[in-house]
Structure 1
C-alpha cells in the first residue's frame, strides 16, 4: 500500500524545480529578444499593409462610434469577424494616434504622439511578445526544464511567421495568444486539481472540493479567442476533452473503478459553467454594437417591419448578423493571389505577400522591399517530422504531453481540409497561426527526448543529443537572420532578394 501511495504522490505532485527565480531571468532574456525584434522599426513600412486596410480603420470606428464604421460613405461597416481583436488594435490607436488618408480622420495619441502605423500595430507587437513569454513558461511546465522552455520561446521568437503577424494590425496574433493562454490555464488547472486530489487522499476525504479557478480563467480566455475569430471554435471540443481526460486519469491513479464515468458526472457541471463564461465574454465583446444604434443590422427587424422588443430584439438582430457573416465565411470563393490550401501550409507552399515595393526602377532592377508571411524555413520544415515523432513517442511512452500537443494541432488544422475539399473556400496560410506554438512544442518535445534524462549511464548519449539539439537551434537562428529583411520589409538588392526565393515561383508575389 505504501508503494502505491508513493506512486500516487509522484503522479499527483505538481511540477516544481530548483532555480525557479533564475528561470525568470532566462525567461526575461528570451522575452527581451522577442520584444526588440517586434518593436524595432514597427512603424515601417508606412501605410496600411494587407488587411490593415480593414482592421486599423475598424478599430478607429470602434473608438469613435462604438462600432466598425465606413468613414468614406459615413455608414456602418459590414464586418465578418467579432470585435475583440479590433478593440485591442484600438488601444494602440488611442494611446499613440491614428491617421486615415481616405477618410481624413485624425487622432492625437492620448499618451504619446507617434507615427500612426505604430499606433495600429502596437497591440499586435505586445500580443506577440506576451505569447513568447507564455510559451517559455508553458513549455517549462510541460517538459519540466527551463532550458527546453527557453528553447521553445526562442524558436517562437525567431519564427518569421510569428514575427510578421506581431508587426501588422491583423487579428491572428491575438487568436494565437488567447488559444495558447487557454491551454496554459488548463495546464495549471490540471496541476491544481491533482494537488487538491492528493490532499484529499492524504486527509482521507473523497472528492476534492473548491472552485476550479484556473479552469474558469481558461473559459474566459477562450471566450476572448472566440471574440477574436470564430475559428477558435475548432479548439473547444479538444479543450473540453483534455479536461475530462486529465480528470479521468487522476481518478484512475487514485483507484477509481470507473474514472471516465466519475469524471463526466462530476465535471459536466463545471464545464457547463465554463460554457456560460465563454458566451458571456463573447457577448460582452459586442457591447458597442448592442448598446448603440449605429451598427450594421443593429435594427434589422425594425427596418424590415418586424417586432423588435428591447433586449430580445437586439439579440435576434445579432443572431441575424451572425447568420449573414457565417454565410460569407462559408462561401468565400473570390480568388486572391496569396491564397493557399491546407496541404501547402506546413511546407511553406504559398506565403502571403503582406507588402511589396520596388521604387525607382523596373522590376528586376530596383531594390525590393517585401514583407512575406513566411515561417523560418528550417523550423517549419521540421514540423511534419516532429509531429510524426511526437505521435510515435506518444504511443510508445503513453505520454499525455505528446497527445495533448497533437490534439490541439489536429483541432486547428484538420477542419480547414474539409473547407478546402468540400466547400472550396478561399484560405490563407495565416489560418495556421493558433497552432504554431503547439508545432513548436512538438519540435522541442522531440529535442528533449533526443537529449534524454540526466544520469551517469546516459552521459555519452546525452552529450550527443545536446550537441545535436544545440546545432539545430543555431541553424534556425542563422536561417532566421538570413530571411530577416523579408520579415520586416527592409530593402534588398534584387539579386539578394531572388536568392531568398528558395521555392521559386511558389514564393514569388
Structure 2
C-alpha cells in the first residue's frame, strides 16, 4: 500500500519505498527519541545533586534566629491554621513573644469569628509552613522546614525533568546543580515565604505535563506500529500525569493567585502538544482527532480537577465558623443543609472579591520594591534581614545579612541562553525551546501589566517561578554546545564534544565560585562590613 493511500500523510519522498518496519522505526525515533544512559544513574545522579542542595539548605536552617521579612505574617498564619484551621488575629508584639519562646500569641475573643484575621493569599502555602511548625514547634527552624523540603525536592524534579527533555542524565544533573546553587532559590528555601511553594507546584505541574507528553506519544506510535487505520487516530486512554498536572496547577493557585497564569498557559501548551503528536505520526486529520479524543479529557484535567482541588484547600475555612468573612445568616441556614452550603459559598465568593480588590490596589511604596524589567538583571534585590554589630568580629564593624538575590552568573547566563533559544526555535521549531520560552514569558510578562496599569508593589522574589525555566534554557544551550553523541551523520565530532563539555564545565565552576562568594550574605553569616559591601554587585541598587 502506498503511503499516499493510507490514512497518514506522506512524511517525505524517501519514505514511500521503505519497508513498513523501517518506516515505523523512523517514526518512533522521530516522535519518541530514545533515552540515553542507564535507568539507575538516571535516578542516582539527580538524587545526589538534590542531596547536595538539601545539605546546603538545611545546615543552620534556624539562623538567623529572628522573624525575617514576611515571615512575620506566614509563620503565625501557619501556626494558627494547624491549631484552629483558620488564620487568627495575634497580640501586639507577637514576634517578640515568639522569639521569647511563647506560643500564646493569639487574641482571646468571645466568639471565634471575632478573632478572624483578614488574609490576602489562599491557605495552602501557610498550611505547608504550619506542617513544619507542627513537627518542630513555633521557631525559625520549624517555620522554615517545609520551605527547605520543597526547595530540595524541586532540585530533584528539575534534574529529572531536564534529563527527560534532553535525554541526557549528565545534562539533567547539570540543571539540578544550577538550581541548587541559585542564590534566590537558596534564600527562599530557607525562609517561610510563600513563593518557594508557588514555584514548586508550577515546576511539578510542568514536569507532569512533559511525562504525559511522552506517554501520549508512546501510545500513538504503538498504535501506528500496529497498523491501525483511522484518519483521526486513537483515544489515548487514561492520562494520570495530565490530571496530576491539573492538580499541581490548582495547588499553585492555592498558594498564590499568580499561579493562574501558568494554569491557563500550561493547558494551552498541553493541547498544542496533542495536536503536534497526532500530526507527527502523519494523521490526515490531526486537529479533528485531538478535538474529539483529547480535548474532553483536557477539560477535565485543566478545569474540573483544578476547581475541585482548589476548593479542597479551603476546607478549614468551610469547616469552622472562625474564618474571615464567615457571615452567613445562621438563623436562616440552621438545620437546613441547602441554605447552609449556599450561604457558605456566597460568603466565600465575597471574600475572594475583597482579596482581588486588595491586590489590585496594592501600590504602597517599599524600599526594596522593583519593576519586572529589573528582575532579569538583578538590579534590585530584597534585603530579608540585616543587622550591624560593631566590634563583633575582631574590633571591626560587622554585618549579618540575608539578601534575596539570584546568582549573577546564572541569571546573566540565562539572558544569553534565552536569546539563543529564540533563534533556535525560529530556525527549528523545537518543542523544548518553545515550551521553555513560553513558560518563562508567562512567569514574567503578566507582571508588566500590573506594573504599568495598576502600579502595583512588586519584588524580585516574584520572579522565582521563572528560575527553573531560566536554568532549562541554559541546559538546552549546553546540550547544543556539546552536541549529540556518536560519530554518525547526526552525531557531533569528538573534538566538538570535548570543547563543548569543557565550556559547560567551566560555566558550572563559575556558578559554584559565584555562589560561594555570595554565601555569607545569603545566610546571615557575621562578616566585616567591608566584606559585606564588597559583595554588593551594584553598590547603589543592592544596598
Settle same-fold status: TM greater than 0.5: yes
Q: Which stretch shows the higher mean deviation, 4-13 or 473-482?
A: 4-13
Equivalent pair of 2:361/2:454 in contact (CA under 8 Å): yes
Distance, in Å, in 2 between the alignment partners of 1:365 and 1:334 is 37
Q: Does residue 383 of the first structure (1) align with residue 414 of the second (2)?
A: yes
Q: Does residue 490 of the first structure (1) align with residue 521 of the second (2)?
A: no
Distance, in Å, in 2 between the alignment partners of 1:372 and 1:223 is 30
SS of equivalent to 2:368:
coil
**1:320 equivalent in structure 2:** 350
Distance, in Å, in 2 between the alignment partners of 1:263 and 1:96 is 49
**1:108 equivalent in structure 2:** none
Q: How does 1:142-161 map to 2 (within 5 A)?
A: 142-161=165-184
**2:65 equivalent in structure 1:** 46
Q: Using a 3 Å threshold, how does the CA distance of structure 1 residues 433 and 302 change in structure 2: closer, same or farther?
A: farther
Distance, in Å, in 1 between the alignment partners of 2:83 and 2:345 is 23
Distance, in Å, in 2 between the alignment partners of 1:304 and 1:407 is 50
Distance, in Å, in 2 between the alignment partners of 1:300 and 1:349 is 48
Moved over 4 A (4+): 300-305
Distance, in Å, in 2 between the alignment partners of 1:435 and 1:304 is 48
Whose radius of gyration is greater, 1 or 2? Answer: 2
Decide which of 363, 366, 370 is 1:340's aligned counterpart: 370
Q: Using a 3 Å threshold, how does the CA distance of structure 1 residues 504 and 200 change in structure 2: closer, same or farther?
A: same
Q: How does 1:463-502 map to 2 (within 5 A)?
A: 463-502=498-537
SS of equivalent to 1:69:
coil
**2:216 equivalent in structure 1:** 193
Q: Using a 3 Å threshold, how does the CA distance of structure 1 residues 303 and 172 change in structure 2: closer, same or farther?
A: farther
Distance, in Å, in 2 between the alignment partners of 1:21 and 1:285 is 36
Equivalent pair of 2:74/2:126 in contact (CA under 8 Å): yes
SS of equivalent to 2:401:
strand
Distance, in Å, in 1 between the alignment partners of 2:389 and 2:468 is 36
Paired residues, number? 489
Q: How does 1:46-445 map to 2 (within 5 A)?
A: 46-72=65-91, 73-74=107-108, 75-98=115-138, 116-205=139-228, 206-274=233-301, 275-299=303-327, 309-360=339-390, 366-445=397-476
Decide which of 26, 30, 51 is 1:11's aligned counterpart: 30
SS of equivalent to 2:152:
helix
Can you give the 5+ residue segments of structure 2 that lack an aligned partner in the other structure? 1-15, 92-106, 109-114
Equivalent pair of 1:356/1:368 in contact (CA under 8 Å): yes
Equivalent pair of 1:14/1:191 in contact (CA under 8 Å): no
Q: Which stretch shows the higher mean deviation, 206-215 or 179-188?
A: 206-215
Distance, in Å, in 1 between the alignment partners of 2:474 and 2:225 is 38
Q: Using a 3 Å threshold, how does the CA distance of structure 1 residues 354 and 78 change in structure 2: closer, same or farther?
A: same
The alpha-carbon deviation at position 331 of structure 1 amounts to: 1.0
Q: Using a 3 Å threshold, how does the CA distance of structure 1 residues 435 and 303 change in structure 2: closer, same or farther?
A: farther
Q: Using a 3 Å threshold, how does the CA distance of structure 1 residues 303 and 82 change in structure 2: closer, same or farther?
A: farther
Distance, in Å, in 1 between the alignment partners of 2:236 and 2:44 is 36
Distance, in Å, in 1 between the alignment partners of 2:340 and 2:281 is 52
Equivalent pair of 1:235/1:412 in contact (CA under 8 Å): yes
Decide which of 454, 464, 478 is 1:447's aligned counterpart: 478
Distance, in Å, in 1 between the alignment partners of 2:441 and 2:82 is 37
Distance, in Å, in 1 between the alignment partners of 2:533 and 2:212 is 49
The alpha-carbon deviation at position 155 of structure 1 amounts to: 0.3
Equivalent pair of 1:124/1:168 in contact (CA under 8 Å): yes
The alpha-carbon deviation at position 265 of structure 1 amounts to: 3.1
The alpha-carbon deviation at position 14 of structure 1 amounts to: 6.2
SS of equivalent to 1:191:
helix
The alpha-carbon deviation at position 365 of structure 1 amounts to: 5.5
Distance, in Å, in 1 between the alignment partners of 2:129 and 2:269 is 32
Distance, in Å, in 1 between the alignment partners of 2:382 and 2:255 is 21
Equivalent pair of 1:56/1:120 in contact (CA under 8 Å): yes
Equivalent pair of 2:24/2:225 in contact (CA under 8 Å): no
SS of equivalent to 2:340:
coil
Deviations 1:257-293 (A, max 9, x none): 2323332332221122121110111101100000100
Equivalent pair of 1:140/1:149 in contact (CA under 8 Å): yes
Distance, in Å, in 2 between the alignment partners of 1:153 and 1:353 is 26
**1:103 equivalent in structure 2:** none
Deviations 1:28-54 (A, max 9, x none): 221111011000000000121001000
Distance, in Å, in 2 between the alignment partners of 1:71 and 1:15 is 57
